[in-house]
């Protein structure tokens, strides 16, 4: 079985960040994707926009909330999920959303910030690797 989605689009509104009672950060935003379709009655090409509800968790949620805004262009990788619940009036409701496993910022401002975060992560990994190398060298110098 495979449930995989790739989308490139623009945010329809600023992302909303909240924290669950267990402390997990959750960011939600809407994403618009567009395509040209031929109108069957006029044979003219018309734009068709599809709106997607995106949900992001953890550190990615924090980054999305911090660096994205209405109109930002992003690439989203994730899976489709439909949730069902009962509203205040007792009616059954459902919503389909994309649970994002990855978000790449494509707009200039967001991409620049994401690049800086990525560089920080590379420096941190390099420092961790250096610590591991030093520890290995230390272990080799022990006479027992």
User: What would the two tokens of residue 34 be?
Assistant: 């567009």
| Residue 19 to residues 56, 87, 92, Cα–Cα distance (Å) | 12, 22, 25
pLDDT in tens, 116-144: 555 555 554 555 555 444 444 444 454 44
Residue 31: which H helix or E strand, with range?
Answer: strand 25-38
The answer to whether residue 24 scores a pLDDT higher than 60 is yes
Residue 136: which H helix or E strand, with range?
Answer: helix 108-141
Domains defined for the chain, CATH in brackets: 5-106 (2.40.50.140)
pLDDT in tens, 48-82: 999 999 999 999 999 999 999 999 999 999 999 99
- Residue 134 has a pLDDT of 45
Residue 57: which H helix or E strand, with range?
Answer: strand 45-57
Lowest mean pLDDT among 11-15, 42-46, 100-104, 105-109: 105-109
**Could you report how far apart the first and last alpha carbons of the chain are, in Å?**
53
Contacts of 6 (CB under 8 A, 6+ apart): 75, 76, 77
Using CA atoms, how far apart are residues 49 and 61, in angstroms rounded to an integer? Answer: 25
**What pTM was estimated for this model as a whole?**
0.71
């Amino acid at each position: 079985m495979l449930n995989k989605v790739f989308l490139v689009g623009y945010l329809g509104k600023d992302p909303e960040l909240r924290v669950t009672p267990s402390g997990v950060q959750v960011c939600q935003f809407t994403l618009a994707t567009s395509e040209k379709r031929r109108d069957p009655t006029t044979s003219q090409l018309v734009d068709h926009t599809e709106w997607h509800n995106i949900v992001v968790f953890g550190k990615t949620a924090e980054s999305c909330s911090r660096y994205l805004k209405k109109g930002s262009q992003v690439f989203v990788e994730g899976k489709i999920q439909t949730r069902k619940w009962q509203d205040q009036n007792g009616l059954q409701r459902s919503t389909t959303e994309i649970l994002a496993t990855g978000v790449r910022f494509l707009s200039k401002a967001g991409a620049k910030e994401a690049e800086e975060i990525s560089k920080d992560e590379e420096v941190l990994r390099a420092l961790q690797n250096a610590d591991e190398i030093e520890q290995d060298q230390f272990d080799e110098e022990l006479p027992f």
